Amino acid sequence: MIIQNKEKYIKLFEEIASKKEWEKDSLNKILRKYKDYNGKILRNDELVEVYEELVRSNYLQEKKIIQERIRLRPTRSNSGVTVVTVLTKPFPCPGKCIYCPNDVCMPKSYISSEPGAQRALASKFDPYAQVYNRLIALKNIGHNIEKVELIILGGTWSVYPLDYKLWFVNQCYCALNDISKDTKEYVEPRDNGFEKTTWEDLEKNQRKNETAYCRNVGLVFETRPDYISEREVIEMRKFGATKVQIGIQSLSDKILEMNHIGRSVDSAKNAFSLLRRAGFKIHGHWMPNLYGSTVKDDISDFKKLFGKDFCPDELKIYPTSVIPNTELASLYREGLHIPYSEKELVEVLSKTIPLTPRYCRLSRIIRDIPSSEIEAGNKKTNLRQIVEQELERRRIKVNDIRSREIKGESIEWKGVVLEKLEYKTSVSDEIFISYKTKKTDRICGFLRLSIPKKDLIANNFIEELNNGSIIREVHVYGKVVGIEEESNGESQHLGLGKSLVNAAEEITKKRKLKKISVISAIGTRKYYEKLGYTKEELYMFKNI
């Protein structure tokens, strides 16, 4: 990795080593003095990465005392899964969205100073090094890395050449397969282009990953809705994908047009219906304060997100920022685009966030763009906190998944209750089955079951999904532990996953369907085998 400000960080580590009385908050106090140029405090994993790089490049002498002081004890991960983000190489995007950053070193829409983008750049966009080194950094600070969700970002995945995509995904699986329990060392990134990779190579490494130490429990691609076609959906499934992130941005054709997004609302409808019929989890991006929109328009636009044509499972809210060298920046300078004031933005978010249904997870309400890169618009990195405080003041409860997650709390089986929430989409009946705590409404685990509508049940474009229901997601919260470890009282061990799957099978039977399929990630195939599921072509299934 490339370290800017080496001298500053060398001083930081010297201070860590020389401090006589080392207390619980000593590290935080020191880190606060050495913020990066955006005023951001280094995260623990970033600190370990910087330390190891300085030692590796002989700028700093290895010291046991530093290692002890910067490493963490094994941590609990809220979602039970380690998430690794990987960026594809810079590549043109067919879109001309007026707000989209133009950083020539980056895939379209990313800025090289964003933390994840920095890591990708330092790894020369080598997918192997990105996955491998990130996992080693996390492992070295005590994270359990046995269950890994890979998020492949970089503008529009669907427009990259197939050869590149095959190589890229295969390299990600190779990196996962090459890490063992004892691996500690980092690898050097390679920048010599990509090698010819076949579907057979990929399948071989996918099979290897089924029993690897680092198993892939989720694979996510980011793309544009108008590039979602039946062929594209099948291809993503062959890569092992389980979730797709798509830019909805707005549900107004007028606003899409004004912002040169180059597609219609109908393209998003079509993408949602194809992805849902194929059992994918759908993670939407929505943008308030686009050029031409108003506070009132944004609030009513948000409501449409949960109409039958969309209903995202997860949502990122990205308030539009004005980034220099974009068309939006020119409009801003001409006085034609006026970003919301903080008060207006908080108003939009306070009115919309509470409308999020219980089945949806609001994963973000701000994009991680360093404030130094924003010409105008929101620069507050703690916007979520500000909105939450405002909602508390107004005594409004938020019911989305993220605000109800159990996190690391211990759970007693008798304090947990099963909840079934049914909602209709244009292509299915969706049943969101969850276990939640009786008293505090905390969610311990959930499953998304999709029952295709009558007129679609026998003519899915993926034949193996015909005449059955589809489990689109099973998620159990708790400490990150080995997938097959024994019970010790954490939610993951209470057999919640199995009970959720049983509940889905019961519902399927009641609907008089004889087959249930699951969009399993490569590393969860063994888990489903134990529950009686068999691999078909792209999915696992059980006759019931």
| C-alpha span between 165 and 158 (Å, rounded) | 9
- Bridge partners for 449 per DSSP: 431, 471
Q: Would residue 8 be called left, alpha or beta, if left means φ above 0 and alpha means ψ between -120 and 50 degrees?
A: alpha
Residues in Cβ contact with 180 at an 8 Å cutoff, skipping those fewer than 6 apart: 213
Least distance CB 155 / ligand SF4 (angstroms): 4
Instruction: Single out the segment in contact with ligand SF4 by CB under 6 A; choices: 18-26, 94-102, 163-171, 389-397.
Output: 94-102
Torsion of CA 7, 8, 9, 14, to 10 degrees: 90
Q: Spell out, one character per residue from 103 to 132, where the chain touches ligand SF4: x when CB under 6 A holds, - when not.
A: -----xx-----------------------
Least distance CB 345 / ligand SF4 (angstroms): 20
| Residue closer to ligand SF4 (CB basis): 224 or 351 | 224
| C-alpha span between 182 and 166 (Å, rounded) | 29
| C-alpha span between 435 and 439 (Å, rounded) | 12
Q: Spell out, one character per residue from 243 to 282, where the chain touches ligand SF4: x when CB under 6 A holds, - when not.
A: ----x-----------------------------------
Both tokens of 89, joined, read: 């190489």
| Residue closer to ligand SF4 (CB basis): 47 or 228 | 228
Picking from 462, 455, 544, 467, the residue whose alpha carbon sits closest to that of residue 507 is: 544
Least distance CB 317 / ligand SF4 (angstroms): 15
> Counting contacts by CB under 6 A, is residue 100 touching ligand SF4?
yes
Helices marked H in 305-412 — which ranges?
327-333, 342-352, 383-393
Cα 103–Cα 107–Cα 111 angle in degrees, nearest 5: 40
CA 123 to chain centre: 20
| Residue closer to ligand SF4 (CB basis): 139 or 224 | 224
- Bridge partners for 475 per DSSP: 446
Helix (H, G, I), strand (E, B) or coil at 179: coil
Cα 513–Cα 268–Cα 364 angle in degrees, nearest 5: 95
Least distance CB 97 / ligand SF4 (angstroms): 3
Determine which residue in the list 144, 156, 250, 469 makes contact with ligand SF4, applying CB under 6 A: 156
| Residue closer to ligand SF4 (CB basis): 79 or 320 | 320
Question: Among all residues, whose Cβ is closest to ligand SF4?
Answer: 95
Determine which residue in the list 12, 44, 95, 365 makes contact with ligand SF4, applying CB under 6 A: 95
Instruction: Single out the segment in contact with ligand SF4 by CB under 6 A; choices: 72-80, 93-101, 328-336, 533-541.
Output: 93-101
452: DSSP letter = E
Residue position matching structure tokens 């290897």: 208
| Residue closer to ligand SF4 (CB basis): 328 or 471 | 328
Helix or strand holding residue 500 (H, E): helix 496-510
Determine which residue in the list 72, 93, 299, 483 makes contact with ligand SF4, applying CB under 6 A: 93
* 8 Å CB contact between 359 and 421: yes
Both tokens of 463, joined, read: 């034949």
Both tokens of 160, joined, read: 């990259």
| Residue closer to ligand SF4 (CB basis): 247 or 284 | 247
- Dihedral of alpha carbons 316, 362, 409, 485, sign: negative
| C-alpha span between 411 and 437 (Å, rounded) | 8
Determine which residue in the list 224, 281, 436, 479 makes contact with ligand SF4, applying CB under 6 A: 224
> Counting contacts by CB under 6 A, is residue 223 touching ligand SF4?
no
Residues in Cβ contact with 393 at an 8 Å cutoff, skipping those fewer than 6 apart: none
| C-alpha span between 28 and 461 (Å, rounded) | 54
Side-chain half-sphere CA neighbours of 179 within 13 A: 31
* 8 Å CB contact between 445 and 497: yes
| Residue closer to ligand SF4 (CB basis): 224 or 404 | 224
| Residue closer to ligand SF4 (CB basis): 97 or 496 | 97
| Residue closer to ligand SF4 (CB basis): 215 or 224 | 224
Least distance CB 120 / ligand SF4 (angstroms): 15
| Residue closer to ligand SF4 (CB basis): 143 or 243 | 243
Least distance CB 88 / ligand SF4 (angstroms): 11
Determine which residue in the list 97, 141, 220, 353 makes contact with ligand SF4, applying CB under 6 A: 97
Instruction: Single out the segment in contact with ligand SF4 by CB under 6 A; choices: 92-100, 371-379, 426-434, 443-451.
Output: 92-100
Instruction: Single out the segment in contact with ligand SF4 by CB under 6 A; choices: 47-55, 90-98, 429-437, 494-502.
Output: 90-98
Least distance CB 224 / ligand SF4 (angstroms): 5
* 8 Å CB contact between 305 and 362: no
Size of the site for ligand SF4 (CB under 6 A): 10
Instruction: Single out the segment in contact with ligand SF4 by CB under 6 A; choices: 91-99, 230-238, 354-362, 490-498.
Output: 91-99
| Residue closer to ligand SF4 (CB basis): 97 or 507 | 97
Helix (H, G, I), strand (E, B) or coil at 219: strand
> Counting contacts by CB under 6 A, is residue 367 touching ligand SF4?
no
Determine which residue in the list 155, 279, 288, 445 makes contact with ligand SF4, applying CB under 6 A: 155
* 8 Å CB contact between 127 and 174: no
Helices marked H in 105-198 — which ranges?
115-122, 127-140, 162-178
Least distance CB 329 / ligand SF4 (angstroms): 14
Least distance CB 509 / ligand SF4 (angstroms): 43
Residues contributing to the site for ligand SF4 (CB under 6 A): 93, 95, 97, 100, 108-109, 155-156, 224, 247
